[in-house]
Amino acid sequence: MSTQMGFDDIRLSPIAGTWYPASPQALAAEVDHYLAQAAARLPRLDGEVVGVVAPHAGIRYSGPVAGYAFAAVQGMAPDVVAVVAPMHYPYRQPLLTTAHSAYATPLGEIPVAHDLLAVLGDRLEARIGLRPTAVLNDPEHALEIELPFLQRALSKPFRLLPLMLRDYRPSVCQALGETLAEILAGQSALLVASTDLSHYYPANVARQLDEHMLRRIAALDPEGVLRAEREGTGFACGAGPVAAVLWASKALGARRGVVLHYATSGDVTGDYTSVVGYGAVAILR
């Protein structure tokens, strides 16, 4: 894990072949299957989708739920997509982005919107003294796992604004979200928050915890999301990214969220004694 300012070629996928198929044909077919399955059952969405919340486990486990999030934006054509994810690895910096010029998945390359990242960094630094640190060759899966879904669901190529968060203080999450909204206002943009829900509880306990967290997300209550995580009434490994995206969405005019689907790893493995929860939410204005 190297840290460096500046741009360096393409970020090659460290998870293709493990977290999702390395074959372009197999990956496209699997993603398309999840999108089609979800589209047939998607609830009616009365409003414009500003953002989505999607899970980030291996595609075999969370893909059926992620399909609902991205079926909700299928056919959209944003110019830029901001994906806000947790950083699961022990970088010391509170907020990270990529130093590469593009992300590569088996489905192709996605250029990084470094011009927007520079503006975001300047405004965040002026507001809270913090700017994203650009890193090379990060191993983070939580951001990348959303990209093949975006590549298959959206109707044209897009630029990526990738952000990985380690500091979940409300002041940081709010500043990040509201600054994101400032730089995306007036642009054709989509927000994506990457998170799984509770980890390793029995399924009946997980459902109670996850329903509480999903209610807070659907209510567009970023403070409630962070409070639930702190108080143990609900869990999300991406609580900070979710809160940031909720603050951004509200600043961009969002008024409500819709829970699209919920499941657990037990629905795939058949083991309900210790599960990970997955939820998909659409954020509407």
What is the reported pTM?
A: 0.96
Task: Indicate whether 4 pLDDT > 80.
Answer: no
249 vs 5: which has the higher pLDDT: 249
Taking only the tens place, the pLDDT of each residue in 166-203 is 999 999 999 999 999 999 999 999 999 999 999 999 99
d(Cα 277, Cα 61) in Å, to the nearest integer? Answer: 10
Taking only the tens place, the pLDDT of each residue in 13-64 is 999 999 999 999 999 999 999 999 999 999 999 999 999 999 999 999 999 9
Please report the domains of the chain, with CATH numbers, ordered by start residue.
42-284 (3.40.830.10)
Write down the pLDDT at residue 6.
52
Across 243-271, average pLDDT: 98
Number of residues that make up the chain: 285
Write down the pLDDT at residue 3.
43
Taking only the tens place, the pLDDT of each residue in 81-113 is 999 999 999 999 999 999 999 999 999 999 999
Answer for the pair 111, 220: CB distance below 8 angstroms, yes or no: no
Task: Indicate whether 131 pLDDT > 50.
Answer: yes
Across 246-263, average pLDDT: 98
